[in-house]
C-alpha cells in the first residue's frame, strides 16, 4: 500500500496497516525501523518488526537488539514499539561513554565496531563484516578502513588482532 504525503516536495513512502485487535487499526511507515537488527523469539513479533522495516532474526545474536528483553507493554502502538527500540539503541551511546571514558561522536560503522567487539569479547574479520551487514568474504575495505581510523584516533593498541580475532585493547 502506498500513501502520499501532502507536501509535494516529499516522495510517497511505503505504508502498512497494523492491527492490534479487531477494532484498533494503526498506520505506520514501513521503513520506520530500517537498518535496525532485532532478535525476537516470537514469530508474530518477528513478522511485525519485519514489516516495520527491521532486519529480524529468530536466533539470539549479540549483534542484534534483543526485542524480548525490552518488555514492551501490551497492547502496544507502533510508536510505543519504536520508542522502546530507539531507547535501547540510545543505550549504545551510554555504552560508548563507558567503553571510551568520555562522550565521543563516531561515524556509525566505527561506533558499531567498538560496540560489537566490546559486547562479543572479540570477533574474526569475517564475523565482524557479517555483523555489520557485509558478506563474510566481501572485498570491501570499509571495515578495515574504519578499524584503521579508530586506531588512528585512539591509538594502535585500541583494537588489537590476536590470532585473527579483533578485540578491544586499551585506549
Per-residue model confidence (pLDDT) at position 153: 93
57 class by beta-carbon count within 10 Å (0-12 exposed, 13-18 middle, 19+ buried)? middle
Q: What is the pTM of this model?
A: 0.55
The CATH number that domain 106-171 falls under is 1.10.10.10
Per-residue model confidence (pLDDT) at position 118: 92
Q: Tell me the domain boundaries of the chain.
A: 1-100, 106-171
Per-residue model confidence (pLDDT) at position 62: 66
Q: What is the C-alpha separation between 52 and 9, in angstroms, rounded?
A: 24
SS3 65: strand
Per-residue model confidence (pLDDT) at position 134: 81
Per-residue model confidence (pLDDT) at position 150: 95
**Taking the C-alpha atoms of 99, 100, 101 and 102 in order, what is their torsion angle to the nearest 10 degrees?**
-130
Per-residue model confidence (pLDDT) at position 103: 82
In the chain (171 residues long), the average pLDDT of successive 10-residue segments reads 34 46 51 82 90 87 82 82 81 84 82 90 90 80 91 94 92 74
Q: What is the C-alpha separation between 141 and 146, in angstroms, rounded?
A: 8
| Residue carrying C-alpha cell 518477528 | 46
Per-residue model confidence (pLDDT) at position 104: 83
Amino acid at each position: 500500500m502506498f500513501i502520499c504525503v501532502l507536501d509535494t516536495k516529499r516522495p510517497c513512502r511505503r505504508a502498512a496497516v497494523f492491527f492490534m485487535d479487531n477494532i484498533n487499526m494503526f498506520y505506520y511507515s514501513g521503513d520506520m525501523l530500517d537498518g535496525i537488527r532485532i532478535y525476537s523469539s516470537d514469530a508474530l513479533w518477528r513478522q511485525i518488526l519485519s514489516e516495520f522495516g527491521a532486519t529480524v532474526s529468530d536466533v539470539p545474536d549479540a549483534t542484534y537488539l534483543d526485542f524480548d528483553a525490552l518488555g514492551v507493554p501490551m497492547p502496544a502502538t507502533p510508536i510505543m514499539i519504536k520508542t522502546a527500540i530507539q531507547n535501547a539503541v540510545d543505550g549504545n551511546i551510554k555504552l560508548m561513554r563507558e567503553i571510551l571514558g568520555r562522550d565521543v561522536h563516531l561515524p556509525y560503522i566505527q561506533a558499531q565496531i567498538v560496540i560489537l567487539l566490546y559486547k562479543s569479547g572479540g570477533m574474526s574479520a569475517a564475523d565482524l563484516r557479517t555483523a555489520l551487514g557485509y558478506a563474510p568474504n566481501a572485498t570491501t575495505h570499509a571495515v578495515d578502513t574504519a578499524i584503521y581510523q579508530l586506531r588512528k584516533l585512539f591509538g594502535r593498541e585500541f583494537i588489537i588482532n590476536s590470532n585473527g580475532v579483533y578485540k578491544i585493547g586499551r585506549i
